[in-house]
Structure 1
């Protein structure tokens, strides 16, 4: 199948994450269904067909950021087919990328983070695990996918660092901080053994069934503690990663250091957090200064 061949090559050559590959697969399947409704095979699509699909997405109310990713996937897919001589022309060759405005990430105040991290009950096995995960997430700025996939050989309590394998297979060393190290040590000393039971696994944070946790499951756990702690801002799987970066900048961290800690390949990706930090400082000034 054309889509499978394309994704297999992407997986082996580009280092894209599983989530991105899954999104590309979904994008191409939706295009296939759209074209089928017009009796057009995927490999026979013309520029007008692709444009009609993008216009349909716009009319259906899909976000511009989603449509930008779709067009990127289609350009790669048809470029692949052309390179393999499976088509004679690229229907996306003259289509311009969708312009997406800069969207500031949702973040939490330091007070909100403190309440969220204090919510799990460390006497409970699952909540002891969750607190260690939350503390580590906020202390290191890991992506949730990186967190749930951590293995025992990637953490060192003695050195106080975690070795992260990020996007594209790139490795980085990130310090954990004393609070996260204490939470992790407490969890490893007892709760992890109870979660694993008779199972054998090198996953640091197994699920209640002793297997690797999904990012969706951990997101639901975060939202559970947010409700209990009465933390109101809308949360996403990356909320604590955003808070990590923003709070570092608020306290004077160098932008390039934050870039390295987050594992961004480009400084421009990290620069969005300077806008978040400035916005937060302006809000604090307005709320608390007598002439704000």
Structure 2
């Protein structure tokens, strides 16, 4: 007996044939295109045939069996053989109660239920680290544990293991990658020592990685460059409207990439003309929403953003499955606009510096600049005073003996 679906009339045999209609509705809800839905149904059909051939019951599917299926698919197919490809189907089956939540989740290291879960909770609740930064920390620590954990267990980790991990990270990778791993490990080992997970402190083994700094002066995008970036956005398309609104927020409010990515629909207070910024260190502050920025966001929300009730992020992906943008995606929007505008690529922070330089040139007090940019340390804002080289030269004293000889 077979089940035929509207998604390309893909023929499905086996235990998943009765779930095809519900899965199609889920794909429609997630915004999958017709072609993408057909691909997902071919994947569903293959999994259903494999389960039937293995003589298994659908409810008995485990993580190891999912891995075995993906290994077979990789050997016989040229696409859709990763957990990422299978995630929509497994996630829907788990939410429907057809399979266990464990079967839909990627395999985790033995320490996950204890150390890493508590570490994640510690970062979120006690350190007030943002959700995306916390996730990145946990991913790096998990990778470290999977690779460098000694055979006799986590508790026997040594400083040599930590140093070797950081040195290995530097092979073929940028210094920034090593620094990020070092930050994650330092936070993790501090947590482990304070909570008693480890009886020895390994934070000293996380080497300080230094990058060459070409200049201490912050360099911002010029007004002409910003205008060129905005003009490069094709506002007749959904992608162009989204990129125009993102760049407006970056240039007019000086937001960080993570602050744009983390902005929620309820954060925009239209009646009061304000927007709530979810900043670093879980600090929330309201900023005035300029009319031109609000107009760009409204244009995106009304004519480009998909209507997905469960999605609360202001900016989301164009392709299915719909989800909020990440910080790297906001960086990509900025660099992609630079490419279109025939400019040397730079990221959102250069646009933030550009706003600060414009305020310095307009003689805005440093305290006010610090409020707009939400600097925790006034010394950070003071760096921008050094950008106004013309006025700094007026303060310079003549060099002794540097006058004309009589």
What TM-score range do you get, normalising by the shorter chain? 0.7 to 0.9
| Mapped partners of 1:43, 1:207: distance in 2 | 41
Match of 1:263 in 2: 374
| Mapped partners of 2:314, 2:134: distance in 1 | 25
SS at match of 1:122: coil
Q: TM-score, normalised by structure 2?
A: 0.58
Q: Does the C-alpha gap of structure 1 residues 71 and 83 become closer, same or farther in structure 2, counting only changes over 3 Å? A: same
Give 2:353's match in structure 1, choosing from 220, 239, 242: 242
CA contact (8 A) 1:136 1:176 kept: no
CA RMSD of aligned residues (A): 3.3
| Residue 16 of structure 1, CA deviation | 0.8
Match of 1:287 in 2: none
CA contact (8 A) 1:126 1:191 kept: no
Match of 2:229 in 1: 116
Alignment of 1:56-95 (within 5 A): 56-58=168-170, 60=171, 62-93=173-204
Q: TM-score, normalised by structure 1?
A: 0.77
| Residue 65 of structure 1, CA deviation | 4.8
| Residue 114 of structure 1, CA deviation | 0.7
Give 1:51's match in structure 2, choosing from 119, 143, 163: 163
| Residue 147 of structure 1, CA deviation | 1.6
- In structure 1, runs of 5+ residues without a counterpart are 283-292
SS at match of 2:220: coil
Match of 1:169 in 2: 282
| Mapped partners of 1:150, 1:44: distance in 2 | 42
| Residue 111 of structure 1, CA deviation | 0.7
State yes or no: 1:205 paired with 2:315: yes
SS at match of 1:172: strand
Give 2:240's match in structure 1, choosing from 127, 136, 146: 127
CA contact (8 A) 1:35 1:41 kept: no
CA contact (8 A) 2:166 2:207 kept: no
| Residue 110 of structure 1, CA deviation | 1.5
| Mapped partners of 1:13, 1:230: distance in 2 | 45
- In structure 2, runs of 5+ residues without a counterpart are 1-110, 393-406
| Residue 174 of structure 1, CA deviation | 1.5
Q: Does the C-alpha gap of structure 1 residues 268 and 34 become closer, same or farther in structure 2, counting only changes over 3 Å? A: farther
State yes or no: 1:136 paired with 2:229: no
| Mapped partners of 1:48, 1:214: distance in 2 | 34
| Residue 184 of structure 1, CA deviation | 3.1
| Residue 281 of structure 1, CA deviation | 9.1
| Mapped partners of 2:308, 2:173: distance in 1 | 46
CA contact (8 A) 1:32 1:41 kept: no
| Mapped partners of 1:96, 1:204: distance in 2 | 39
Give 1:11's match in structure 2, choosing from 124, 127, 145: 124
CA contact (8 A) 2:163 2:205 kept: no
Kindly tell me the number of residue pairs found equivalent between the two proteins: 275
| Mapped partners of 1:201, 1:88: distance in 2 | 43
| Mapped partners of 1:272, 1:64: distance in 2 | 24
Superposed CA offset, 1:159-218 (max 9, x none): 332111212321112223333233334444x315xx324756544334335642333334
| Mapped partners of 1:19, 1:201: distance in 2 | 16
| Mapped partners of 2:210, 2:317: distance in 1 | 40
| Residue 145 of structure 1, CA deviation | 2.3
Q: Does the C-alpha gap of structure 1 residues 61 and 40 become closer, same or farther in structure 2, counting only changes over 3 Å? A: farther
Q: Does the C-alpha gap of structure 1 residues 18 and 242 become closer, same or farther in structure 2, counting only changes over 3 Å? A: farther
| Residue 89 of structure 1, CA deviation | 1.5
Superposed CA offset, 1:216-249 (max 9, x none): 33433333322222222x2224332232233323
State yes or no: 1:214 paired with 2:326: yes
Superposed CA offset, 1:61-93 (max 9, x none): 655554444334333322322222232221334
| Mapped partners of 1:207, 1:35: distance in 2 | 35
Q: Does the C-alpha gap of structure 1 residues 40 and 56 become closer, same or farther in structure 2, counting only changes over 3 Å? A: farther
Q: Does the C-alpha gap of structure 1 residues 273 and 65 become closer, same or farther in structure 2, counting only changes over 3 Å? A: farther
